[in-house]
Structure 1
Amino acid sequence: MSFPYQIRSFDEYKAAYKKSVDDPEGFWAGIAGHFYWRKRWDKVLDWNFREPKIEWFKGGKLNITENCLDRHLGSFGNRPAIIWEPNDPEEHHRVLTYRELHNKVIQFANVLKNNGIRKGDRVCIYMGMVPELAIAVLACARVGAIHSVIFGGFSAQSIADRIIDANAEFVITCDGAFRGNKEIPLKNVIDDALVQCKFVKRVIVLTRTRTPVSMIKGRDVWWEDEIKKVETMGHPDYPAEEMDAEDPLFILYTSGSTGKPKGVVHTSAGYMVYTNYTFVNVFQYQPGDIHFCTADIGWITGHSYIVYGPLSAGATSLMFEGIPTWPDAGRFWDIVEKHKVNVIYTAPTAIRSLMGFGLEPLKGKDLSSLKVLGTVGEPINEEAWHWYDEHVGKKKCPIVDTWWQTETGGVMISNLAGITPAKPTYATLPMPGVQPVLVDEKGEEIEGNDVSGNLCIRFPWPSIIRTTYGDHERCRTNYFATYENMYFTGDGCHRDEQGMYRITGRVDDVLNVSGHRIGTAEVENAINMHAGVVESAVVGYPHDIKGQGIYAYVIYQGSHGDDNLSRQDITQTVSRIIGPIAKPDKIQFVTGLPKTRSGKIMRRILRKIAEGETEQLGDTSALLDPGVVDEIRNGKL
């Protein structure tokens, strides 16, 4: 399969970009024409950012799985679609060809049908990184059910919140999952979550770890038993459900600046076209390449660049169950050597963590198959960029530093591997179809180069967020109400003399910890649930490995006088309510917080203290009790 829309030179990039701005509808219609449609669209784009209302390929009919699976069967049904590398290197890896994956998706689509799952139903998926996770996602899409994948590190309370918000009556999970030397009891966590979700009708459980689990009669069924039932029916086909271009494909929950996670909704056609286009161009994918995205499918990166982007392009996608440091810090490089990986796409946090082990884990590893290195989730610092370039890519592999979000669906700003210029710490240039603009606090556009401001996008791209599930007003206020007629990313940005973009971090109350967005309000709410806590304030601070760490200032009136034990109690509470990813790195006990007379916490001051900038704190005269600042400064951890 060749890609007529693959950009092959800087001049071609400039021409594609110009066309995408001058004639966006003609540009995207040209790309969409290369996919399989049951019925072509009536109108390419209908939009306004006020409501917001965004509809791409209006009137078009399709099913994304026909584009990810069926259309490839004739030409390369025997090509590997998914290579699965298990957590334990001693366990044998699995390879699923496009034909095998297609058969398994059809089989599981029949399981979904037999269990009462229909078009429009919401299905919560909480599984480890096994091939059956990708099969479940694709089977949902095939029957027209809306999948909502939840990362395996979230707590029972976080899962319950998401199941209730999506009103998901169906759950797919595993008995447990392997991650490094840990076994995670997924089914037990689901059972705890479902105490609050009595409306759930069916839980389908895959066997992976053979952890003993409780199976509730009438609600819980084993994946394997359900597959056997389908097999006794012969081998029934499951023609893909015809979907409207704007029918929801999935809901993915992300943290915002308030405590409640928001369900980002992506739709079928625009998301498919954009993830395919960005996959083919950013990574300069060539047929036969092995693409290794190290993310979890529980995050948007896994949705877009393990499942939908690569499979719609007929690529071979490598899925890894484990972690980069187990059984030792050479695991990524073992996988690259074993499977002759051509593209590796990982997070700066993983790179910084591996840097800490020195060069020993890289010794003797054959990384000569690598052609492209990628980073995602947060800006990569210069030291990590150079280490990745020198020791992994041997200065022969372009590094694509991709900036995008759950809400954008696919890569927004990035260099194209070996085609457009790279610059350490810079995401560089926008993808065709993406029109970035920097604005000041008043929403006035900041023109020219060598300037900084808040990053907005002035025109829709096909995979832009359509709504937040069940609460369209929240979508409007979060993304479209801050600056008129623009999508607000929530990120600050610098544009250099050459017009290249560098993301400088969040400008709202959201932290970026190890590439995962966590709302400060969400962490504060969890800390405040602890019986001994009166009040708390959470800010980010620079962290050598994670990029940003979580620093919590806590007013505590607990009883047992042992600060370390109290800190552990609070950390445990956060883990139970949100999950281990949100645990504070530092907890400083204080007697008061810097508040204005109206009661607003001055997080700016707390952020500066946490960052170690204790002298230049700005004007504190508006505070109710300026003396509290000295106490906090003196007690800094």
Structure 2
Amino acid sequence: MIAASRGSAAHSRYGEVYEAWRRDPLAFWGQAAQAIDWMRPPSEVFAPSLGVYGRWFPGAVCNTCFNAVDRHVDAGRGSQPAIIYDSPVTGAKRVISYNGLLSEVRVLAAVLRDIGVGKGDRVVIYMPMVPEAVVGMLACARIGAIHSVVFGGFAARELAQRIADAEPKVILSASCGIEPSRVVAYKPLLDEAIDLSPAKPEVCLILQRPQAEASLVKGRDLDWTETVNRARAAGKAADCTPVEATDPLYILYTSGTTGKPKGVVRDNGGHMVALTWSMQNLYGIAPGEVFWAASDIGWVVGHSYIVYGPLLSGCTTILYEGKPVGTPDAGAYWRVIAEHGVATLFTAPTAFRAIRKEDPQGLLIDNVDMTNFRALFLAGERADPDTVQWAERVLNVPVIDHWWQTETGWAIAGNPLGLGALPVKHGSATVPMPGYDVHILDEAGQDQPRGVMGEIAVKLPLPPGCLPTLWRADERFRESYLEALPGFYKTSDAGYIDEDGYLFVMGRTDDIINVAGHRLSTGGMEEVIAAHPDVAECAVVGASDPVKGEVPVGFVVLKSGVARPPEEIEAEIVARVRAEIGPVAAFKLAVTVARLPKTRSGKILRGTMKKITDGETWSVPATIDDPAALDEVAAVLARRRGRAAAP
């Protein structure tokens, strides 16, 4: 158990709040639950006998859409902006009030209901950052359907895996997504994914965008705008469907170490309680203020803090279809903050590394009126101290690193601005949030002393808002997260806790790499590379990158007798990974070697290969089978990168 930091700021309430949770967790979360409008209030806060490790607020009845939209209208705040859509890639801007959002959600919910979507049915959403995507999420929540948003940058095979697992009745999609330099046609990818998947949707509702309209499949596809307009003209509107607090709100797929994605389940009740608590106490945001999470709705940050967190709290959320640089320049974020009165920005460190690369002196922020701006939060990957310190200098506001996962849905550790910020330690995510009893364990599951690196684990039960299980995979949930460390949730991250109780998260312990805040499986990339007809075996490691945090590097061993130039095959491998995983993988470097370094038991020495790739000091492990294999990896990389190998 972590005590309040000895270095706590005198005005911070963190210590007393964390101690209140530790002293009586049920009373703490019961009190927090009073911020939610329940159709039937919870009579029990937590039931340890239900589910895999227990369930929060069993027996309570609620509706997430009602809490995110209707109740703000009922409270007389319908004219307040709910969503500000800002799209520098198209030049479009739009402000949607809570009244307007309610109207749009009610009609789309009625369309889904008339198609036959009901409580518990799944709807896959494969869309760009447009208001219709958020309306789609809320419409599903309104009628008790379970949405599963898939990031638009994923290729057809990745989308097909998710369709196969979720078995959606309907898919909501768009004709295209728009990047700064190109238009990405979504519809051909969707059609191919449906062909690949054994599960087939009954209907696809397609939003036609003028940049690239799509052909519709007769008998399956419907034009979004035409269908919604007909329903609106007919006076169609759906009311909120009561659901159990423990019913699923959504499924969000995250990379699995086997290459098969894991469907993280988020419930309705605990999710609302946790996010509402975090908006006020962690981010320090009040109703009516403008909050901007510069992410994508395809990722957990988009779910929690573009859509649900801000709307549950009655804030105005920014929906940004653009990049930190290139739309049009490295001052894009400052323009959005100033124009829309953003109070707090939440983004990934990679965004600020990109901005810093283009504008190292921060000149583009000069003469920009950012009067309302008061904090920057970073998450999605480790925030390196150089980037944090640069942001502090150019912004002159608190820059707060915090740490969480797709599985948890909100911060495990952070610096609680709403409770009074604690002193910053660069490189640390600061302290655990209430609900998280964080431990550093060795391989035997024993607590490590302060300052000693180990496996970061959270003592069960996990707090509200965290995953109760994986979609239709309780046993996989146990195997993936609970079995290795009995009584704990295994984060698969490594780190340590210092003498003041500050948590330092140093990296992953499995083969998931973090590319610009996106968790991607090297195992999945290896599957693609291994399918090349000329490849005998391969390994992918994450190499440190000054902008993206990590980028994948593929090492390949060619089959005997292959006569073609290695460079030609490497180019094909890069193209394959980009086609099958998607450009989001940022896979650009494949390296041919004669053999992969392995232990005598046949395990590839990925950790040592990563050190070589990063230019770090490395040593030959005692368990290695052929030490010369490591020397070759170093030599080949040195030749490819034009620098001397470092033994």
Q: In the alignment, which residue of structure 2 is the partner of 1:39?
A: 40
Q: In the alignment, which residue of structure 2 is the partner of 1:442?
A: 444
Q: In the alignment, which residue of structure 2 is the partner of 1:3?
A: none
Quick check: 1:346–1:375 contact (8 Å CA) kept in 2? Answer: yes
Q: In the alignment, which residue of structure 1 is the partner of 2:432?
A: 430
Looking at structure 2, the residues matched to 615 and 385 of structure 1 have their Cα atoms a distance apart, in angstroms, of 28
List structure 1 runs of 4+ shifted beyond 6 angstroms. Answer: none
Quick check: 1:125–1:173 contact (8 Å CA) kept in 2? Answer: yes
Quick check: 1:87–1:178 contact (8 Å CA) kept in 2? Answer: no
Q: In the alignment, which residue of structure 1 is the partner of 2:68?
A: 68
Q: Does 1:139 align with 2:142?
A: no
Q: In the alignment, which residue of structure 1 is the partner of 2:4?
A: none
Which one is further off, 626-635 or 339-348?
A: 626-635
Per-residue deviation at 1:10?
4.5
Looking at structure 2, the residues matched to 232 and 375 of structure 1 have their Cα atoms a distance apart, in angstroms, of 44
Looking at structure 2, the residues matched to 41 and 150 of structure 1 have their Cα atoms a distance apart, in angstroms, of 32
Quick check: 1:279–1:285 contact (8 Å CA) kept in 2? Answer: yes
Quick check: 1:290–1:342 contact (8 Å CA) kept in 2? Answer: yes
Distance change >3 Å, CA 39–CA 384, structure 1 → 2: same
Q: In the alignment, which residue of structure 2 is the partner of 1:213?
A: 214
Amino acid at match of 1:445: D
Amino acid at match of 2:119: K
Amino acid at match of 2:23: D
Quick check: 1:172–1:204 contact (8 Å CA) kept in 2? Answer: yes
Distance change >3 Å, CA 615–CA 135, structure 1 → 2: closer
The share of aligned pairs that are identical, in percent, is: 36
Q: Does 1:593 align with 2:596?
A: yes
Amino acid at match of 1:382: P
Looking at structure 1, the residues matched to 259 and 568 of structure 2 have their Cα atoms a distance apart, in angstroms, of 26
Which one is further off, 246-255 or 352-361?
A: 352-361
TM-score (norm 1): 0.94
Distance change >3 Å, CA 458–CA 614, structure 1 → 2: closer
Quick check: 1:87–1:179 contact (8 Å CA) kept in 2? Answer: no
Amino acid at match of 1:570: I
Looking at structure 1, the residues matched to 228 and 211 of structure 2 have their Cα atoms a distance apart, in angstroms, of 18
Quick check: 2:176–2:213 contact (8 Å CA) kept in 1? Answer: no
Equivalent residue of 2:376, what SS? strand
Corresponding pairs, count = 621
Distance change >3 Å, CA 596–CA 425, structure 1 → 2: closer
**Residue-by-residue CA offset, 1:125-172 (whole Å, 9 max, x unaligned):** 000100111000000010111100000110011000110011123110
Equivalent residue of 1:629, what SS? helix
Instruction: Please list, as runs of the form range in 1=range in 2, the aligned pairs for 1:236-247 lying within 5 A after superposition.
Output: 236-247=236-247
Quick check: 1:42–1:60 contact (8 Å CA) kept in 2? Answer: yes
Q: Does 1:385 align with 2:385?
A: no
Q: In the alignment, which residue of structure 2 is the partner of 1:162?
A: 162
Per-residue deviation at 1:615?
4.7
Which one is further off, 551-560 or 369-378?
A: 551-560
CA RMSD of aligned residues (A): 1.8
Q: Please, which runs of 5 or more residues in structure 2 have no aligned partner? A: 1-8, 641-647
Per-residue deviation at 1:19?
1.3
Amino acid at match of 1:374: F
Looking at structure 1, the residues matched to 628 and 504 of structure 2 have their Cα atoms a distance apart, in angstroms, of 38
Equivalent residue of 1:461, what SS? coil
Looking at structure 1, the residues matched to 138 and 586 of structure 2 have their Cα atoms a distance apart, in angstroms, of 33
Looking at structure 2, the residues matched to 196 and 542 of structure 1 have their Cα atoms a distance apart, in angstroms, of 34
Instruction: Please list, as runs of the form range in 1=range in 2, the aligned pairs for 1:416-427 lying within 5 A after superposition.
Output: 416-417=416-417, 418-427=420-429
Looking at structure 1, the residues matched to 10 and 599 of structure 2 have their Cα atoms a distance apart, in angstroms, of 55
Looking at structure 1, the residues matched to 14 and 615 of structure 2 have their Cα atoms a distance apart, in angstroms, of 43
Quick check: 1:289–1:341 contact (8 Å CA) kept in 2? Answer: yes
Looking at structure 2, the residues matched to 559 and 60 of structure 1 have their Cα atoms a distance apart, in angstroms, of 64
Instruction: Please list, as runs of the form range in 1=range in 2, the aligned pairs for 1:160-559 lying within 5 A after superposition.
Output: 160-197=160-197, 199-234=200-235, 236-325=236-325, 326-358=327-359, 359-391=362-394, 393=395, 395=396, 397-417=397-417, 418-447=420-449, 449-459=450-460, 460-557=462-559
Instruction: Please list, as runs of the form range in 1=range in 2, the aligned pairs for 1:95-134 lying within 5 A after superposition.
Output: 95-134=95-134
Looking at structure 2, the residues matched to 538 and 336 of structure 1 have their Cα atoms a distance apart, in angstroms, of 38
Amino acid at match of 1:590: V
Looking at structure 1, the residues matched to 432 and 238 of structure 2 have their Cα atoms a distance apart, in angstroms, of 40
Q: Please, which runs of 5 or more residues in structure 1 have no aligned partner? A: 1-7
Looking at structure 1, the residues matched to 39 and 286 of structure 2 have their Cα atoms a distance apart, in angstroms, of 27
Per-residue deviation at 1:388?
0.8
Which one is further off, 189-198 or 347-356?
A: 189-198
Q: In the alignment, which residue of structure 2 is the partner of 1:56?
A: 56
Amino acid at match of 1:208: R
Looking at structure 2, the residues matched to 549 and 215 of structure 1 have their Cα atoms a distance apart, in angstroms, of 37
Looking at structure 1, the residues matched to 55 and 278 of structure 2 have their Cα atoms a distance apart, in angstroms, of 20
Looking at structure 2, the residues matched to 127 and 348 of structure 1 have their Cα atoms a distance apart, in angstroms, of 24
Per-residue deviation at 1:214?
1.9
Per-residue deviation at 1:477?
0.8
TM-score (norm 2): 0.93
Equivalent residue of 2:276, what SS? helix
Amino acid at match of 1:456: A
